[in-house]
Structure 1
């Protein structure tokens, strides 16, 4: 599949980037955060943000959100597309999308969480993308943009180089509430991270990536939007992460088991599992409980992968999902998972 995917050309400073809300219009609900994100987007990339009718329209219909996506992909002046944030109903937008513009003039698309729907749609239509990049979470809040996010954002949009994916050493599950003025200047409560854990054969795997948010992947599969032989993923790298819904470990294991039954786990040679959020604004367990919850999820995921793909190399704890700081990773691009030297690198071309 990697050899047949179209890899969009990079933008250049001064080009326009569409900033859209294909799911929840957080830009309209919390405009101060969004506006700071847009200023920082230009500062970090040199690109010019362009909003569309539903970017700030809370409650816009699936048809209207799809119309904005179609218009952005069709407009030759738009050279990249960035999702403001995820949500929970993008699955209803997908049937209204037009594949012709994305095939004719593929552009980098960046998004996370519910945008897994869009990543799978692009992938099914032969176009690579980048998993991550929520402007409302990783650009707008706090005193600045995290270094790992800024570097991978520029690589995905502009430069296309290969980067070593490392751990920033700290992590937060949630930031300050966006209706609090402190959200514009303060990070959330951060804590030191643990070393990534490695499982399976100690070997180096280089392959094309596929995956996203586990809860959304379950919807994608239920909707029949992965209607291909899973062996198209042969030799690839599976990306999986969990959302702020804070599923119990057993539920996470059930979804991973579903990937196993579908044949997806047996096809890939490596799996990257993101550091999961284990707290939210309503409840922050104490440090020991947070560690226990992360450990429980790791164990069930690793054991389930081993059942279906004992030769897969697995790395757990990589910050590419719902925590911050966040790496943006290629979706349909090339990642190397080197369990011998315990290194990960990503090709953003």
Structure 2
């Protein structure tokens, strides 16, 4: 792993980009949402999506999904790799990936959730990526692409600018069922967001990021796919978010505590914790229950991070994970966490 990862060059309108399903092939179950996402991808970026054999293939073996990733990374016509959605078994894809193709022609990779596996693998092999972006979740559904997601998507793929990460003011935990025709024209149920919570010293930290979905981070560490020395994160910014599994604050705290014992929290200078989803299709608490879930996770994060690193600047509530609207953030690239001005900035170069 290099402490100064390569930042792949940007695409240009008219370039081809791969759209892959390295975990769950959501387009196979919700074709209309996927095809609307492909149209919107071109409308927003000018890029031309290219699908591969497993993009719409349910239950494809890990070796086949890896083959599509390797082909996309090796093809000089492909200038970025986007994922349709996450899943839960991408950890089995990693052993089949070809690092030589990635190093020979680095290109931006966008994904979150289970795609934490690929992002961390790229980072370990010296290539930066972007945490966020799911064509099936953030491009295809609803009446249009959320402005903050549009800005981050264009910055990650095309412009490489530096953007202030703002609160969009409303948030949804889950959208319409993809089988419902309304999913193509309506957002999910949105509610006002709470102010972000700041903790730690009033100082400014700028550093490279690592982290992702905390459930997947736990799997990566268990599989031994992180450098032995936590010092590789010295001065960095840890990204932490939770998935639609809606783990309880106690379980979230156990994993965060393990990161502390592993030395990862102590190594970084700042931690960003995302606004967590608090409801799903099968579990829909009322507004008070959702607020209680978010508050419990917030308080747990602040308490445990302070226990292992009281000098870290902490911001909780940033929309970069499993809620929508979603900001895409650099993974291995630099983020500024300004505890004085209480601002977060991301460098998409």
Distance in 1 of aligned mates of 2:228 and 2:324? 33
Runs of 4+ in 1 over 2 A off after TM superposition: 1-4
Pairing of 1:140-159 with structure 2 (within 5 A): 140-159=140-159
Residue aligning to 1:177: 177
Partner of 1:277: 277
Would the aligned equivalents of 2:275 and 2:317 in 1 still touch at CA under 8 Å?
yes
Is the deviation greater in 1-10 or in 186-195?
1-10
The whole-number CA distance in structure 2 between the counterparts of 1:245 and 1:92 is: 20
Distance change (3 Å), C-alpha of 1:202 and 1:243: same
* Alignment partners' CA distance in 2, 1:275 and 1:219: 21
Q: By how many angstroms is 1:283 displaced?
A: 2.2
Whole-Å separation in 1 of the counterparts to 2:3 and 2:210: 14
2:229 paired residue number: 229
Q: What residue number does 2:200 align with?
A: 200
Q: How far did residue 29 of structure 1 move?
A: 1.2
My pick for the range that moved more, 282-291 or 188-197, is: 282-291
> Shift in Å at residue 2 of structure 1?
7.3
Distance 1:209 1:103, change over 3 A: same
Secondary structure (helix, strand or coil) at the match of 2:22 reads coil
TM-score (norm 2): 0.99
Q: Which residue of 2 aligns with 1:130?
A: 130
Query: Which residue in 2 is equivalent to 1:292?
Result: 292
**What secondary structure does 2:209 align onto?**
strand
For residues 317-328 of structure 1, the aligned pairs below 5 Å read 317-328=317-328
Distance of 1:243 and 1:297 partners within structure 2: 12
- Taking the aligned partners of 1:335 and 1:227, their CA distance within structure 2 comes to 22
- Corresponding residue for 1:248? 248
State the match for 1:36 in structure 2: 36
**CA deviation profile, 1:47-67 (whole Å, cap 9, x unmatched):** 000000000001000000000
Counterpart check, 1:314 vs 2:314: yes
User: 1:284 deviation in Å?
Assistant: 1.6
1:208 and 1:332 in contact (8 A); partners too: yes
Number of residue equivalences: 349
1:264 — aligned with what?
A: 264
- Retained in 1: the 8 A contact 2:8–2:128? yes
Q: In 2, are the aligned partners of 1:2 and 1:332 still within 8 Å (CA)?
A: no
Which residue of structure 2 lines up, in the alignment, with residue 13 of structure 1?
13
SS at match of 1:71: helix
Q: Is the 8 A contact 2:3 2:232 kept in 1?
A: no
User: What is the TM-score with the length of structure 1 in the denominator?
Assistant: 0.99
In 2, Cα distance between the equivalents of 1:39 and 1:228?
Answer: 43
Q: Distance in 2 between matches of 1:219 and 1:333?
A: 23
Q: Residues of 1 paired with 2:4 and 2:327: CA distance?
A: 25
Residue 3 of structure 1: CA displacement? 5.2
Distance across 1 between alignment mates of 2:211 and 2:292: 25
Task: Please give the alpha-carbon distance, in whole angstroms, between the structure 2 residues aligned to 1:258 and 1:68.
Answer: 34
**How far apart in 1 are the matches of 2:230 and 2:36?**
42
Deviations 1:248-295 (A, max 9, x none): 000000000111011000000000000000100122211111111110
In the alignment, which residue of structure 1 is the partner of 2:302? Answer: 302
Match of 2:164 in 1: 164
- SS of the aligned residue for 1:198 comes to strand
2:294 match: secondary structure = helix
- In structure 2, the partner of 1:93 is 93
- Give the conservation status (yes or no) of the 8 Å contact 1:211–1:239: yes
The Cα offsets for residues 132-181 of structure 1, whole Å up to 9 and x where unpaired, read as 01010000000000000000000000000000000000000000000000
How has the CA–CA distance of structure 1 residues 2 and 235 changed in structure 2, closer, same or farther, with 3 Å as cutoff? farther
2:2 and 2:124 in contact (8 A); partners too: no
How many angstroms apart in 1 are the aligned matches of 2:309 and 2:283? 35
Whether the 8 Å CA contact 1:15–1:77 is kept in 2: the answer is yes
Root-mean-square deviation (Å): 0.8
- Contact residue 335 and residue 346 of structure 1 kept, 8 A: yes
Please name the residue that 1:71 is paired with: 71
Distance 1:126 1:142 in 2: 36
**Superposition deviation, residue 4 in structure 1:** 2.2
